[in-house]
Chain A
Amino acid sequence: MKENAENPAGLDRLVHEPARLIILTALSELESADFLFLLRLAGLTKGNLSSHLDKLEAAGLVEVEKRFVGKKTNTLIRITGSGRAAVEEHWRRLDDLRHRSLQGNPRP
């Protein structure tokens, strides 16, 4: 199954995966964040975070910029316009799903 295929509830699986939803939701509140901030906030390992960022970058939802600060490398991540739209749409669908389930009709 394709990673970004939509499930029957209308949720984008690329965004819906828990770690990626945390990353995108946090980035949607910011102009940009560095790798360490996302690592700490999401509670992921470095390899795991890199893997998720690669997938999000490949889908065009985030931009990753590697640069030098002094002699150290610093990775800066920012959400793209389509990433922001995707996460906002995702939260809207989740709210809609919750609302429907409260009314006893979970199907969209």
Chain B
Amino acid sequence: MEGSAQRARFFARYYADLQGLKKVPIGLVFLAIATGNAGLWPWFELWEPISGALVLGAGFALSWAIGRYYYGRAFGRVRRRPGIVRHGAAVTVAGLAVLVLMFVDAALLPPVSTMGLAIAAWLFAWCHEGGRRMAHYGVAGALFALASFLPLTGWVSPDDFFAVVLPALFGLVVLAGGFYDHRMLAQAMRPTVDEW
């Protein structure tokens, strides 16, 4: 009984954060950037300034729509407590800071990625806060921490690392994490008997 109530506490507290399908468009955007930088799309360079902004905008809009409509209709809506909203705002600011570091890395090409380490720290913080149900955030954090040192090893050039490897890794982790979070939420929010 206690376990069920604590499970309910966890899913109520992190309901918005576990809406994993919201993360899918963001993951796809970063994979598109990585594959575009890798030269897999011949027209990417020509259209990059316009298509990049459009794709990013469309990704965030789609992400918002999925959260608003799909999750609201499938699993219900909640309003978070003011303290949690402030916490969410802090997470958003941290996410934007990571994006700024992406540009810093791309300009300076350091031997160790500051963006990768910042993402790792952010993921470790989530893992610590969420406990064992957020253990996959810790795994992703470890992956980013290790990957941040790749330019130092010389296995991949700094140019390729910051233009292709890092966005690809970010996109894949966001996609995989998104599907995992969604699966966890869908299993927890099981349909009731009288819905069949």
Interface residues of A (CB under 8 A from B): 18, 21-23, 25-47, 94
Contact = CB atoms under 8 A, between A and B. Distances in A.
A42 B4 CA distance: 8
Contact of B5 (A25, A32, A37, A39): A25
Given A40-B189, A41-B12, 8 more contacts: A25-B12, A29-B9, A35-B76, A41-B11, A41-B76, A41-B188, A45-B194, A94-B2
Contact of B192 (A26, A31, A33, A44): A44
Interface residues of B, number: 27
Give the secondary structure class of B's interface: helix
Interface stretch (B36-44, B78-86, B138-146, B162-170): B78-86
Nearest to A39: B192
Contact of B78 (A23, A33, A42): A33
A30 B2 contact: no
B53 interface: no
A21 B5 contact: yes
27 contacts: A18-B5, A21-B5, A22-B5, A25-B6, A26-B8, A26-B11, A27-B12, A30-B12, A30-B79, A31-B79, A31-B80, A35-B76, A36-B75, A36-B76, A36-B77, A37-B75, A37-B77, A38-B76, A40-B75, A40-B76, A40-B189, A40-B191, A41-B11, A42-B8, A43-B192, A45-B193, A94-B2
A52 B141 CA distance: 42
B108 interface: no
Nearest to A90: B5
B13 interface: yes
B132 interface: no
A21 B101 CA distance: 44
Contacts of B84: 29
B81 A30 contact: yes
Nearest to A37: B76
A32 B191 CA distance: 21
Contacts of B75: 36-37, 40
Contact of A40 (B80, B190, B193): B190
B192 A46 contact: yes
A46 B194 CA distance: 7
Contacts of A26: 8-9, 11-12
B8 A22 contact: yes
A39 B193 CA distance: 11
